[in-house]
Structure formats: structure tokens, C-alpha cells
């Protein structure tokens, strides 16, 4: 449905994430992929959604001078927020192990921000979901890291992976947001570009 309504727009997904790309396919959107290497550094003092809002817009601004009249560029950023601290992608296996140990038996927030950029305007919005892990043994964490290599994921886990199936006891909010894109919210926002 949205594909037809937005047929006059050139939707560009600026994300290398296979999960985000799959969501765009599953949402039945016509889109192209355009990638740029962005150093994901944000100013000290930003908290929670301020971080993801900043990074999503930073990624979009890299394409500023390249957009045509009908282009809609979409960028996104996700963090895991625990104890007033951001957990991004792990630097290595030890960092991933430490992150998952911190998440064990605790509730954290997964925050994803999306930026939609056109020549006319830039719009940034975010979604937050509370996720609770039961107790994760070091043995289970090591098995997960060895078998699934979640080193491209914020917080070192994918809710759709083995660790999510055996470890997550509760979720409050959008499931797709935890995977990496709040699809329902994005769909509603895209309707305003029809």
C-alpha cells in the first residue's frame, strides 16, 4: 500500500544492517541502499534518546549535498541504555561478554532513533522499549558469543537470536524497535510524505 502511495518518492535507506534492510522489504517499500562510513561519536553529556537522535541525524547529514528533489533518506541508530549509560556495539568478544553480564537479571531500555531527510526538511523521532533479561550464566553467554557472533549489535545481542529466546523474560513496547527499527512508527511517519 505505502509503496504505491510513495511511488513519486525515491526512498533511500542509509544502513548496512541486514535487519533494517529486511524490515524495509517486509514493509513492502521500494528503496535503494546508500552507505557512507560515519564515525559514530557524540558529545559528552547526551543522555538516552539524545544520543540516538544525534547519531541518526549525523548519519543523514553526511548526504546533505547529494539529495535530489524526490529523495527521502532514512537513517537510524540504536543503543541499549542501562544504568544511565549507553551500550553500543561491542569492540571485541570480551567487551560483548561484559555487556551481557551487565544485562543479566536486569531491565534495560532499547532506544532507536530514525531520521527522515529530504531537501525540504529533516525529521528525527525515537522509540524506547523496556527489555528484561532473566539470569544469564557465563556458559550461556559464551555459547551465544561463539555461535552467533553478535558483534554488530547494540548491547551485544539480538532479541531474535538464541539468547533472546532463552534469556528474555519480559518486553514492554515495540519488538521491532529492539531488532533495530520501530516499523509501526516509521510507517505512520512515512504516511505524512504521501
Closest to 18 measured CA to CA, from 151, 176, 154, 180: 180
Q: Using CB atoms within 10 Å of the CB of residue 55, give its burial: 0 to 12 exposed, 13 to 18 middle, 19+ buried.
A: buried
Is residue 71 part of the annotated active site? The answer reads no
Phi-psi region of 160 (alpha: psi -120 to 50; beta: other; left: phi over 0): alpha
191-to-9, 21, 114 alpha-carbon distances in Å: 12, 19, 15
Q: Which residues pair with 32 in a beta bridge?
A: 12
Q: How far apart are CA 32 and CA 57, in angstroms?
A: 19
Q: Which of 44, 77, 95, 146 is catalytic?
A: 77
Catalytic residues: 77
Amino acid at each position: 500500500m505505502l509503496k504505491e502511495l510513495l511511488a513519486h518518492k525515491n526512498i533511500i535507506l542509509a544502513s548496512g544492517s541486514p535487519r533494517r534492510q529486511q524490515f524495509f522489504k517486509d514493509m513492502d517499500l521500494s528503496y535503494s541502499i546508500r552507505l557512507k562510513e560515519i564515525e559514530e561519536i557524540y558529545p559528552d553529556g547526551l543522555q538516552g534518546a539524545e544520543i540516538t537522535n544525534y547519531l541518526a541525524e549525523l548519519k543523514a547529514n553526511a548526504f546533505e549535498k547529494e539529495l535530489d528533489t524526490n529523495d527521502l533518506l532514512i537513517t537510524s541508530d540504536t543503543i541499549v541504555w542501562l544504568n544511565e549509560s549507553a551500550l553500543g556495539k561491542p569492540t571485541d568478544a570480551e567487551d560483548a561478554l561484559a555487556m551481557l553480564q551487565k544485562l543479566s537479571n536486569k531491565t534495560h531500555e532499547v532506544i532507536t532513533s530514525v531520521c527522515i531527510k529530504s531537501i525540504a526538511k529533516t525529521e528525527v523521532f525515537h522509540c524506547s522499549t523496556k527489555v528484561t533479561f532473566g539470569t544469564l550464566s557465563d556458559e550461556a553467554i559464551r555459547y551465544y558469543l561463539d555461535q552467533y557472533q553478535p558483534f554488530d549489535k547494540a548491547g551485544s545481542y539480538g532479541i531474535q537470536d538464541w539468547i533472546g529466546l532463552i534469556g528474555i523474560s519480559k518486553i514492554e513496547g515495540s519488538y521491532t524497535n529492539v531488532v533495530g527499527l520501530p516499523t509501526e512508527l516509521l510507517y505512520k511517519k512515512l504516511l505524512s510524505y504521501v
